Structure 1
Amino acid sequence: MTFPNGFLWGAATSHFQIEGYSAEMQAQLSDWSSWMSMPAKIVDGSTAEFACDFVNRYPDDIDLLEALKLNAFRISINWPAILKDEPGGESTSQELDPEAVAYYRKLLTDLQARGIKTFVTLFHFCLPTWIAARGGWTSPVAAEQFGIFTQKIVEALGDKVDFWLTINEPMAYAYQSYVSGQWTPGHVSDYLSAFKTIKNMLVGHVHAYNAIKASYPQAQVSYTNHWRPFSPEKPLSPLDHMVCMVRDNVFNHLFPASIQSGVYSLPPPLSFFKEIRELEGPIPGLKDSIDYLGINYYTREISRFKPSWPPDLFGEASPKPLLKTNALGWETYPEGLYQILTHDVKPYLKSSSGKTREIYITENGYAECFESQLVEGDWSLEDVERVEYMTQHLEAIHEAIRAGSPVRGYLHWSLLDNFEWAEGLQQRFGLVRVSYPDQKRQPRKSAYVYADIAAENALTKKSTSQ
């Protein structure tokens, strides 16, 4: 199964999950650095204070990346650490922190010097505390300041970026922050705030897109959409099917459909609520403000009808998965990725000018669970289930390409074990094992299998039989 010439093989990360940036952690510059220090917010009680210490160890990690024959790497910029000052505060200049700029320039320069394409995310779940205090993304302030931040990043780092991603998983962020309450600020069933957040993220995306294009008109700019197919718990239940349709329209399609049309339009039943309906309307500059599709995919969700108040879109996730699951309870369902690539994204593949947008898989990976504090020998490097998951999803991608899907790259989540938000350090997604607290790196079996695939630009009998 050979992939197209020039196909990108890479890995994805985010700053908060790997960096261990001491200036941010010690001063609690972000909403997440504050949140993780509160009691009972993180499942295993761990923190990202040191994470993978990537900010100090990245030269060795780039060596690992190169040794694995990977030619693409996704990072994110630490907004709270690189732009610390609140406008109107003691320091009103809002200048970028020179130490942080130097770190990111060196990192990106080193990657490009080795022929590794750079994907740079501007917002990956962490806000400066002063923006969070003003309501975070529920306030237009966040969108405005995101545009200012982006402009400064473009000036400082723009020549080192191959692919831009403005915002990571907007729908997942809004849901976890304002509906489930598992992420900061911890609101539960606050749907008005959730959909204010989405609207302001769309506006912020436009500001960022325009800032990038003003300096680099040919830049490749997108965002990452978390795609999750919804399947009915009872295939013959009309109510279960209705719940799946509603959830699909909101979770999967709301953000890309708004960008495609230029209008923030909420589907029923959300549009039945006056306060939410009043958020609807055209957003200047939104239409066609992406150049490619960034797709994050992990699993599907089995859903069922459940009348409740406040409603969670009139349903809930079934506690009974039908297939093999990972440590987070997520099913291995490569058929869902094929469905997305060949069917679900079709409305968004062409711009209004008729140009076809290419697709990059910006996240896809498998979680294993181990204690956050581990010593040598406590756990295996033979991650056979991750290998199976990865190769099955790459087979689905290859089939989609043969069916005409313009997929041009795959970024595995993740290069390193890292801090998995509310789950802490115990959920392990890495191709490379990270032992805490000594930070020792050791490639797993999956890393070597992935290296063979990348080197051959193909799934071979060897890679699919391991």
Structure 2
Amino acid sequence: MENKNDLLFSKDFYWGSATSAYQVEGMNTNSDWWAWEQEEIKGAHSKVRDLSGNSCDHYSRFREDFDWAKDLGQNAHRLSIEWARIQPSENEWSSEAVEHYKEVIAALRERNIEPFVTALHFTLPQWVADYGGWLNPKIVSSYAKYVEFLIENFGDKVTYWFTLNEPLIAAEMSFLKGTWAPAKNKSVPDFFHALRNMIKAHKTGYGVMKQAAQKKGYSIKVGAAHNLIAFTPYNTKSVFDVFLAAALQKIFIKAYLGFFSVKTDDFIAVNFYLTSRVHLTLLNISAAFVGIKDEGEVLTDVGWTMRPEGLYRVLINLINFKKEIFITENGVADVQDRHRAQFIVEHLKAVNQAIVQGADVRGYFYWSLTDNFEWAYGFAPRFGLLAVDYSTLSRTARHSALVYKRICSSNAIAADLV
């Protein structure tokens, strides 16, 4: 029975979880990450902790995983298609991969789960990496052909599409920090060069996808999933800190999303993990992005802060774009499952508060459905609603998954959770 103190969401709100192909499928042998990690792990100072290998074998177990998603009350799921599977070489399109992903999408539809599909989630086909990947302008035309192929083959089955996942993070980790494939060096020029080509790929891809859909008579919506950082004042009583946080937030969101022409996209997709607490005397830009941690503050297993007020701040700053908003990733590495339930509840309270203030949030996707391969971190961080035993690949629902199920199933945060 509904309680007057429950926090309600709209009846058509999307409740889901997210995954990416390389992180969950396993054996993506034609990907640039696959080749890179095989070589990288041999080094004395390897940037990777584990080989992705079979991961959690979602490629074979997707129906089982989607049964879990349905049982957990979810009506949407975000996934990605692996470019390297669809197009293993420049002049080859894999009918086997096409049929596989059609089965994946059909399995979601059969369970009344809406698919939200990412065309490119960090990884590239090895043949693209061989000609320079994001550092070669050729990638824009290669990518355009790929996404056109996706719409021609899947556009009648999928409404919501993402061109890219977290392009800023991809450019930063691969070319500025040098900890992700190809990780050949740390180069500011390469970072900007890669980011520029990502921006071009997104803009070109958006147009190609919409045009391909129009030719076929399909109705689709296209955007990109962006990792957005929140800025909050270190000292809430300091006029200067409050001003700095507000200014940085507006500049970051307006400038960054402006580069990606978000005003012409069909929606805004937000991946949210970090809040940076800033202080006026903090002049080191890299430190500003890491933020200031309070003494004794509880952190995630990978050392990230958990500040739901940051998500509220980001959403409020998106209102003026007058777009549908989706939270496409929001999660916590918590192997003991001590904080995840509260993390979900507190962040959803922030989402609800932002909706009340005018943010047009249409859905929330927890990262992630299952434990998975977390890039250079390997398998140690556990983000999943479902715990995976990597020796048997069995899945078990964590307590936090059951809390999230209550929310999804009731379309509300019950008063006793608030």
In structure 2, C-alpha distance between the alignment counterparts of 1:62 and 1:82, rounded to whole Å: 22
Quote the offset at 1:332 in angstroms: 1.1
CA distance in 2, matches of 1:430, 1:410: 15
In structure 1, what residue type is equivalent to 2:330? Answer: N
**Cα distance per residue 1:357-387 (max 9 Å; x no partner):** 2111100011124xxxxxxxxxx5xx24100
Aligned Cα RMSD in Å? 2.6
1:84 aligns with 2:88: yes
What amino acid maps onto 1:80 in structure 2?
Answer: A
| C-alpha contact (below 8 Å) 1:41/1:182 kept by paired residues | no
Which of 190, 193, 202 in structure 1 is aligned with 2:190? Answer: 193
Q: Matched residues, percent identical? A: 33
What residue in structure 1 maps to residue 66 of structure 2?
62
Q: Indicate the residue corresponding to 2:307 in structure 1.
A: 333
Cross-structure match for 1:111: 108
* 1:396 pairs with 2:347: no
Letter in 1 for 2:21: H
Amino acid at match of 1:49: G
Of the three residues 162, 181, 188, the one matched with 2:159 is 162
**Which residue matches 2:3?**
none
1:287-366 aligned at under 5 Å gives the runs: 288-302=263-277, 317-318=290-291, 320-321=293-294, 323-342=297-316, 344-349=317-322, 357-366=323-332
Matched, 1:19 2:25: yes
CA 1:219–1:163 in structure 2 vs 1: closer, same or farther (change >3 Å)? Answer: same
The C-alpha deviation readout for 1:253-272, integer Å capped at 9, x for no partner, is 44411244xxxxxxxxxxxx
Q: Match for 2:265: what amino acid? A: I
Distance in 2 (CA, whole Å) between partners of 1:187 and 1:95 is: 28
Match of 1:3 among 2, 9, 20: 9
Q: CA deviation at 1:234?
A: 7.4
Q: Is the 8 A contact 1:295 1:362 kept in 2?
A: yes
Deviation of 1:240 (Å): 12
Structure 1 position 33 matched with structure 2 position 34: yes
How many pairs align?
401
Structure-2 separation of matches of 1:306 and 1:140? 37
For the structure 1 residues 239 and 432, does the alpha-carbon distance in structure 2 shift closer, same or farther, using more than 3 Å as the test?
closer
* CA apart distance, 1:219: 1.1
Q: Are 2:78 and 1:74 equivalent residues in the alignment?
A: yes
Structure 2 counterpart SS, 1:225: strand
Query: 1:318: Cα distance to partner?
Result: 4.8
Describe the SS at the equivalent of 2:156: helix
CA change 1:135–1:314 in 2 (3 A) is farther
CA contact (8 A) 1:8 1:410 kept: yes
- Equivalence for 2:367: 413
Shift of 1:202: 1.5
User: Residues 117-128 of structure 1: matches in 2 within 5 Å?
Assistant: 117-128=114-125
Describe the shift of the 1:434–1:241 C-alpha distance in structure 2 as closer, same or farther (beyond 3 A): same
Provide the rounded CA distance (Å) in 1 between the counterparts of 2:286 and 2:81.
Answer: 33
Q: Distance in 1 between matches of 2:18 and 2:165?
A: 12
Secondary structure at the aligned position of 1:61 is classed as helix
Separation (CA, whole Å) in 1 of partners of 2:233 and 2:193: 29
Are the aligned partners of 1:76 and 1:121 in contact in 2 as well (CA < 8 Å)?
yes
Displacement of 1:346 after TM fit? 3.4
Do the aligned residues in 2 keep the contact of 1:9 with 1:411 (CA within 8 Å)?
A: yes
- Range with bigger deviation, 112-121 or 322-331: 322-331
Question: Alpha-carbon deviations, 1:294-325, whole Å to 9, x = none?
Answer: 011112124577778xxx66866357455321
| Structure 2 portions without partners, runs of 5+ | 1-6
Offset at 1:114?
A: 1.9
- Aligned-pair distance for 1:69? 1.3
Contact 1:31–1:127 under 8 Å retained in 2: yes
Distance of 2:244 and 2:183 partners within structure 1: 28
**Match for 2:311: what amino acid?**
L
CA distance in 2, matches of 1:389, 1:366: 7
- Contact kept, 8 Å, 1:341 with 1:400, in 2: the verdict is yes
Query: Using a 3 Å threshold, how does the CA distance of structure 1 residues 174 and 232 change in structure 2: closer, same or farther?
Result: farther
SS of residue in 2 equivalent to 1:159:
coil
TM-score, structure 1 as length reference: 0.80
Distance 1:95 1:156 in 2: 15
Asked if 1 retains the 8 angstrom alpha-carbon contact of 2:23 and 2:52, the reply is yes
Q: Residues 237 and 48 from structure 1, CA distance in 2 versus in 1: closer, same or farther, beyond 3 angstroms?
A: farther
Q: 1:266 aligns to what?
A: none
- Greater CA drift, 182-191 or 29-38: 182-191
SS of structure 1 residue aligned to 2:16: strand
For the residue of structure 2 that corresponds to 1:359, the secondary structure is strand
Match for residue 55 of structure 2 among 51, 60, 78: 51
Give the SS at the match of 1:101.
Answer: helix
Q: Deviations over 1:238-280 (max 9, x none)?
A: 7998799669745x444411244xxxxxxxxxxxxxxxxxxxx
Q: Deviations over 1:35-55 (max 9, x none)?
A: 222124455x32211111000
Deviation at 1:348, TM superposition (A): 2.7
- Cα distance in 1 between the residues matched to 2:249 and 2:312: 19
**Once the two structures are superposed, what CA deviation does each residue of 1:105-127 show, in whole Å capped at 9, x if it has no partner?**
00101111221111000110001
Q: What whole-Å deviation, never above 9, does each CA across 1:314-363 have from its counterpart, x for those lacking one?
A: 86635745532111111111111111111x223433xxxxxxx2111100
SS at match of 1:36: helix
SS of match in other structure, 2:379: coil
Matched, 1:435 2:389: yes
Q: Secondary structure at the match of 1:294?
A: strand
Paired with 1:249 and 1:192, the residues of 2 have a C-alpha distance of: 22
Describe the shift of the 1:80–1:242 C-alpha distance in structure 2 as closer, same or farther (beyond 3 A). same
Residue identity opposite 1:367 in structure 2? A
1:62 is paired with a residue whose SS is: helix
Alignment partner of 2:51: what SS?
Answer: coil
